[in-house]
Amino acid sequence: IKGLQRLEYRGYDSAGIAILNGDLKVYKKAGKVSDLHAFAKDQDIKGHIGMGHTRWATHGEPNDRNAHPHYSQNSRFAMIHNGIIENYSSIKAELEKRGHEFRSDTDTEVLVHLIEDIYENANVSLDEAVRLALGEVIGAYAIVILSKEHPNELICARKGSPIVVGVGKEKGEYFVASDATPIIEYTNNVIYLNDGEMA
């Protein structure tokens, strides 16, 4: 939440967090980061890995259900996304034919559903499912994915939108952000992903 507060200067209409603590919990609110903070403070937000996002609406109105992070169909993954998936409507129509039900109006939710669909049906690793899904989308993205089944892993990828990975001071400690601003108090050792890269 502190990291999200450092990004408030960008302008946004909603904010949310996902925390992995045995289960994958998502808390999100339209409005300011302070609204999210007030909503989340009475929730179980303990965990060893998590992510947050401030959204500026492109697909779908600025409301609670369109705020990020978004769950996949079976809620095994949660994802945040900067950018625009231009061909999301054709992918969504195909996924709906296969029984997917969507809880939002966003292009982001379509992408995380696609990743889960590939993961379940192509019998591949999660990072390979992400790679294959990104090969099907047209547009720009910086994404971060949390998985119930991979509790010590965040997967991130970028095309056209920036991502920086911070290497923490503790062994195995990492941070991912759209720029160094929200992570600078934790580390000054950062790696900027190049276009088309995953981590």
Torsion of CA 108, 109, 115, 117, to 10 degrees: -150
Its pTM stands at 0.92
Per-residue pLDDT in tens (0 to 9) along the chain, 199 residues: 888 888 877 778 888 999 998 899 999 988 888 888 898 888 888 888 999 988 766 666 767 788 889 999 999 999 999 999 999 999 999 999 999 999 999 999 999 999 999 999 999 999 999 999 999 999 999 999 999 999 989 999 999 999 999 999 999 899 999 888 889 889 989 999 999 999 9
**What burial class does residue 13 get, using C-beta atoms within 10 Å of its C-beta: 0-12 exposed, 13-18 middle, 19+ buried?**
middle
| Cα distance between residue 197 and residue 125, in whole Å | 17
Amino acid making up residue 61 = E
Closest by alpha carbon to 14, among 33, 1, 27? 33
Amino acid making up residue 116 = E
How far is C-alpha 180 from the chain's CA centre?
17
